[in-house]
């Protein structure tokens, strides 16, 4: 058990406080030119800036300095689970995100439909980002694959993405991806990283062999690649370690999966930030802690679209009054990692973080942005320490020691 969780279990106390953790995915950015402003600093954010004048600002490091996190480790850190201790496969998150009930004999895999040319080389890793309407019937075809001694489940997720689950005794989850992360080359063979996963690669090879035959006439999605092959690990629940009943308001399956992984209740919330805020208000009396996820600051950053990311941040800012009118005891605004438009990818840069509560020691900040956060009172800290800070501001921790 981690030291953080040992302490929070011992010190937790109940009260009527309400906590909202708002995660703008990939929030952190970079200026396009030296001395310029980041996306967050460029955006017109009167509501976030007003909150900065009431709260404490800082920069959180998702894993350790210099390490670029995926969304899984980034969120687990924010939830107070050390990403180096709790390493979760992407397949598990995708499966949980579509409400697949993973058991102890299950190996979960994230699948991507792809396009192979006449030589069997990858010409498109995402099969032209085919629509869900085209991909779902392909998943139904794959779901008919039979492998002796193993149950096979194939379920569609969104667009070109799917989940594959192998269920059977003796299956390990320590297997390399078959996606080479490149075009013009053949898909990789599955490779086991330990003895306990050798049976899994034999099952995966047979599945891929049959899948190639099943999909051979389905352009552009005439094959698939397997990623994030893993089993569900044991992990303590959010309520166990923090004493709060938590509800998650997220649209994308992976983030719903992350919430379900730590046993948050996942609440249906439409598709827009307005829908999510309405769901927050509806569920306000049912939970102590709310995790809200906003995806589009990340996807626009990955597209390299600085202006689009600015507009998405402004969209988020416009939604803030719907949250603040509920008067949460503690409001946190942050990201799971940085996704600078300049880099078109996740990055290792620390993430802007703001805590707003009546117990904040105000640090003189006038706006919410990377520069202001660099000089804020929270300093630069590992994201895994955010939850103890939040619980303290919510008066949910007893004194430690005599």
Taking a C-beta distance cutoff of 8 angstroms, is the pair 337, 74 a contact?
yes
Average pLDDT, the chain: 96
Q: Which residues of 117-139 are buried (b: 16+ CB within 10 A; e: fewer)?
A: eeeeebbbbbbbebeeebbeebb
Find the DSSP H helices in 23-121. 39-42, 46-52, 71-78, 90-97
Say if strands 351-357 and 330-334 run parallel, antiparallel, or are unpaired. Answer: antiparallel
User: Which of 87, 6, 54, 16 lies closest to 363, judged by CA?
Assistant: 54
Whether 53 and 177 map to the same domain: the answer is no
Q: Total structural domains in the chain?
A: 2
Residues contacting residue 85 through CB under 8 Å, at least 6 positions apart? 2
Band (pLDDT 50/70/90 cuts) for residue 17 is: very high
Considering the domain boundaries, does residue 3 fall inside one? no
Whether 30 and 52 map to the same domain: the answer is yes
Work out the average pLDDT over 19-33: 97
Tell me: the pLDDT tens digits for 197-233? 999 999 999 999 999 999 999 999 999 999 999 999 8
Tell me: the pLDDT tens digits for 338-392? 999 999 999 999 999 999 999 999 999 999 999 999 999 999 999 999 999 999 9
Boundary (domain end) residue, out of 163, 195, 230? 230
Whether 253 and 339 map to the same domain: the answer is yes
Q: What is the pLDDT of residue 265?
A: 96
Tell me: the pLDDT tens digits for 39-77? 999 999 999 999 999 999 999 999 999 999 999 999 999
Tell me: the pLDDT tens digits for 308-345? 999 999 999 999 999 999 999 999 999 999 999 999 99
Q: What is the pLDDT of residue 179?
A: 95
Find the DSSP H helices in 100-237. 132-142, 198-215
Whether 139 and 154 map to the same domain: the answer is yes
Considering the domain boundaries, does residue 27 fall inside one? yes
User: Residues of the chain with pLDDT > 90: what percent?
Assistant: 94
Whether 112 and 248 map to the same domain: the answer is no
Boundary (domain end) residue, out of 181, 197, 230? 230
- Residue range of the domain that includes 100: 93-230
Band (pLDDT 50/70/90 cuts) for residue 1 is: low
């Amino acid at each position: 058990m981690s030291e953080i969780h040992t302490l929070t279990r011992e010190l937790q106390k109940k009260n009527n406080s309400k906590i909202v953790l708002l995660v703008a995915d990939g929030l952190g950015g970079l200026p396009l030119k030296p001395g310029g402003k980041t996306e967050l600093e460029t955006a017109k954010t009167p509501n976030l800036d007003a909150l900065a004048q009431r709260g404490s600002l800082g920069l959180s490091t998702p894993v350790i300095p210099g390490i670029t996190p995926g969304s899984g480790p980034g969120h687990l850190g924010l939830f107070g689970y050390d990403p180096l201790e709790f390493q979760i496969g992407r397949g598990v998150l995708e499966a949980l995100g579509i409400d697949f009930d993973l058991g102890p004999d299950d190996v979960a895999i994230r699948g991507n439909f792809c396009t192979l040319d006449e030589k069997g080389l990858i010409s498109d890793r995402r099969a032209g980002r085919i629509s869900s309407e085209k991909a779902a019937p392909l998943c139904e075809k794959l779901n008919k694959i039979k492998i002796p001694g193993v149950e096979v489940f194939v379920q569609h997720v969104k667009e070109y993405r799917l989940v594959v689950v192998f269920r059977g005794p003796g299956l390990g989850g320590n297997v390399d991806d078959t996606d080479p992360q490149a075009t013009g080359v053949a898909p990789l063979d599955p490779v086991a990283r330990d003895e306990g996963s050798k049976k899994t690669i034999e099952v995966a090879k047979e599945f891929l062999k049959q899948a190639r035959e099943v999909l051979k006439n389905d352009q552009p999605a005439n094959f698939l690649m397997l990623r994030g092959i893993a089993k569900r690990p044991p992990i303590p629940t959010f309520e166990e370690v923090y004493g709060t009943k938590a509800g998650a308001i997220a649209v994308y399956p992976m983030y719903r999966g992350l919430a379900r992984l730590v046993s948050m209740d996942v609440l249906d919330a439409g598709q827009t930030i307005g829908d999510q805020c309405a769901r927050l208000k509806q569920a306000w009396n049912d939970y102590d802690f709310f995790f809200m996820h906003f995806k589009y600051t990340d996807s626009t950053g990955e597209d390299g679209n600085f202006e689009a990311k600015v507009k998405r941040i402004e969209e988020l800012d416009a939604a803030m009054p719907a949250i603040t009118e509920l008067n949460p005891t503690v409001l946190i605004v942050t990201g799971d990692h940085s996704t600078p438009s300049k880099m078109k990818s996740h990055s290792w840069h620390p993430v802007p973080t703001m805590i707003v509560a009546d117990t904040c020691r105000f640090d003189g900040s006038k706006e919410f942005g990377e520069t202001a956060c660099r000089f804020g009172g929270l300093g630069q800290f590992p994201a895994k320490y955010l939850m103890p800070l939040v619980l303290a501001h919510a008066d949910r921790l007893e004194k430690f020691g005599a």
